[in-house]
Chains A and B, each alone.
Chain A
Amino acid sequence: MPVSAIRAEGVSMDFGSLRVLHGINVDVSEGEVVAVLGPSGSGKSTLLRCLSWLTPPTEGAVYLQGERLGVAVAPDGRQSRLSAAKLARQRSRIGMVFQSFNLWPHLTVLGNITEGPVQVLGLRPGEARERAMTILETVGLAAKASAYPATLSGGQQQRVAIARALAMQPELLLFDEPTSSLDPELVGEVLDVIELLAARRTTMVVVTHEIAFASEAATRVIFMDGGRIVEDTLPATFFRDPAEERSRRFLERTLRRYAQFGSHRSAEG
C-alpha cells in the first residue's frame, strides 16, 4: 500500500456564486509525479491553491501525510481553524513554485534560498548556505548566488524559486504553471530541472500546459475541465487512448497547435 503524500477529499471552491471546483477527490502517493492538464479556467490552479491552503476551499478537506491541513480537529470531532503558527509549520512541508516566480527582490539568490531554512527550520546560517549552494549546483546557478533576482532571466529566476522550495526539504512539491510566464527559449532549462527532480522520484503535482513534459516525465495524468476531474490515468493511456470525449478534443486542439509551432523543447535543440 503506497503512502499518501497529499489527499483531497470532496474539495469544492466557490468564488462568490461561481463554483470553480466541484467536490474534487484526489490522492497523490509518495514518489508520484502528477501532471494536471486542462483548458484555461478548468480549476487546475485553484485546486493547487487549495492543496497548499493558500486559498482554503469552501468545502472539503486536505490531508498532508494523513494530517488534516489548516483545520484543528478536537477529540470530540469539533473543527476549528488551525493556529497560524501550526499552519505555517504545515506549509513549510509543502514546496510551492509559482507561475510568476515570486522571488523576494530585496534578497540575493542565496538570501532567497536560506530565508526559510534559517528562519523556519532554525538552521545555522553557515549550514543553510551550504545546503543552498548544493541545491544551486543542482539547478545550475551556483555562479549567481550573490546576484539579485532582478538581474536574472525568467528561466534563472524560476530555477532559483525551485531551489528555494527544495531548500526546505519538503515532502512534496506543487508547481503552478511553472513555465507559462517564460519566453519560449527559456522553458527548456526549467523543465530540465523539474525532470531531474522527477527522475529522483520527488513527489510532485505539476499544473502545466507542456504536453511533452506530461507524457515523458509524469507518472500520472489528471485532466480537468469545468472544475471537475474528467480523467485520472497513466500518461501512456491518456495520450494514446483518452477515455473521454472532452480529453480527446483538448488533446486534438493542443497537439495541432503543437505540430504547428513545435515543442518548446525543440528550441534548445
Chain B
Amino acid sequence: MDWSDIIPYLPDLARGFLKSIEIALLSAATALVTALLLTLASATGNAIVRAIVAAYTEIILGLPILVLLYVIYFVLPKFGVRFDETTAGVLTLTLYYSPYLAEAIRGAVAAVPVGQVEAARMIGLGELSILARIVVPQALALMIPSATGILIGLVKDTAILSVISVEEFAYVTKQVVSHTYAPFETWTLVAAVYWVTLALFETLMRGLERRLSRFRPKVEFH
C-alpha cells in the first residue's frame, strides 16, 4: 500500500474536516449557553427545578454519548420529533456536554472566595454588579483548564456523528477508505490531523488563560 493513493482524496478529507470544525463550534456555543442556564437554574431555582437539573446531570453522567445519539435520532421520531442528521448531532453534543460544562462553571464560581463577595457587599455593590465585576472575571480564568478538557472531548466526539451519516471528518474518511483500501494509513493521517488541531486548541486556551489571569504573579511574594 502506498500513501500517495490518498492524495486525490485530500479535498474530500478537507471538506469533512471543515464540517467537523463547524459542528464543534456550533455545539460548543450551544453547550456553553445551556450549561450557563443549568448553572443558573440549580443556583436560583426552587427545589423542583434543582431536582430536575440534578436528575438530568445524573442521567448524562451514566449515559454513553452514542446511546444518547441513537435515542435522539431513532427514538424521538417515533414520538413525532424529527431532526436532520446534523441537528441531531449538534443536539446530542449539546445535551451531553452541557452538564459537564455546568460543573466546570459551578466549580470556578465556587472557587472565588466568599470574602471577596462580602467585601463587595460592604462597598454597596448590587448582586448583579458583584457577579459581573467581581465573580465572572475571575471565574472565567478559573474555569478554562477544566472547560478546555471538556471541549476537547466535544471536538473528538464529533467523530461519533459519522454513525448517523453526518458528513463530517470521520464519515468522509470512511468513504475515502472504501475507495483507497488503505484503512490503516488513512485513519492514521486523520488521527494526526485531529491531534494537531486539538494541540493547537489547547495552546490557544492556555494563552487565553494566561491573559485572563495576568493579575496572578508567577512568583509568590513573601
Query: B217 — which chain A residues lie within 8 A by C-beta?
Result: 148, 150-151
Query: A148 — which chain B residues lie within 8 A by C-beta?
Result: 215-217
Query: Which of B122, B129, B138, B141 has the most chain A CB atoms closer than 10 A to its own CB?
Result: B122
In the bound complex, what is the Cα–Cα distance between A89 and B141 (angstroms)?
30
Query: B129 — which chain A residues lie within 8 A by C-beta?
Result: 119
Q: Which of the candidate stretches B42-50, B113-121, B192-200 sits at the interface with the other chain?
A: B113-121
In the bound complex, what is the Cα–Cα distance between A266 and B123 (angstroms)?
34
A132 to chain B, nearest CB (A): 13
Chain B: interface size category: 20 to 34
B222 closest partner in A (C-beta): A153
Residues B125 and A106 in contact, CB atoms below 8 Å apart: no
Q: Which of B121, B122, B134, B213 contacts A104 (CB 8 A)?
A: B134
Q: What are the interface flags for B109-153 relative to A under an 8 Å C-beta threshold, 1 for contact and 0 otherwise?
A: 000010110111111111101000110011001000000000000
In the bound complex, what is the Cα–Cα distance between A92 and B123 (angstroms)?
5
Residues A120 and B123 in contact, CB atoms below 8 Å apart: yes
Q: Is B221 an interface residue (CB 8 A)?
A: yes
Residues A102 and B115 in contact, CB atoms below 8 Å apart: yes
Q: What are the interface flags for A86-104 relative to B under an 8 Å C-beta threshold, 1 for contact and 0 otherwise?
A: 0011111111101010111
In the bound complex, what is the Cα–Cα distance between A102 and B121 (angstroms)?
12
Q: Which of B125, B141, B215 contacts A119 (CB 8 A)?
A: B125
Q: Is A105 an interface residue (CB 8 A)?
A: yes
Q: A119-B133, A150-B221 are in contact. Are A105 and B124 (CB under 8 A)?
A: no
Residues A98 and B118 in contact, CB atoms below 8 Å apart: yes
Residues B127 and A91 in contact, CB atoms below 8 Å apart: no
In the bound complex, what is the Cα–Cα distance between A105 and B138 (angstroms)?
8
Q: Which of B116, B123, B127 contacts A116 (CB 8 A)?
A: B123
Query: B113 — which chain A residues lie within 8 A by C-beta?
Result: 100, 102
Query: Which of A106, A150, A153 has the most chain B CB atoms closer than 10 A to its own CB?
Result: A106
Q: Which of A88, A94, A106 contacts B138 (CB 8 A)?
A: A106
Q: Which of A52, A89, A108 contacts B122 (CB 8 A)?
A: A52
Question: Which B residues form the contact surface with A (CB < 8 A)?
Answer: 113, 115-116, 118-127, 129, 133-134, 137-138, 141, 213, 215-217, 220-221
Provide a sorted-by-A list of 22 A–B residue pairs whose CB atoms are within 8 angstroms. Answer: A54-B118, A54-B122, A88-B121, A93-B124, A94-B122, A95-B122, A96-B118, A102-B118, A104-B120, A104-B134, A104-B138, A105-B138, A105-B216, A106-B213, A108-B215, A115-B133, A116-B123, A116-B125, A119-B123, A119-B125, A120-B125, A150-B216
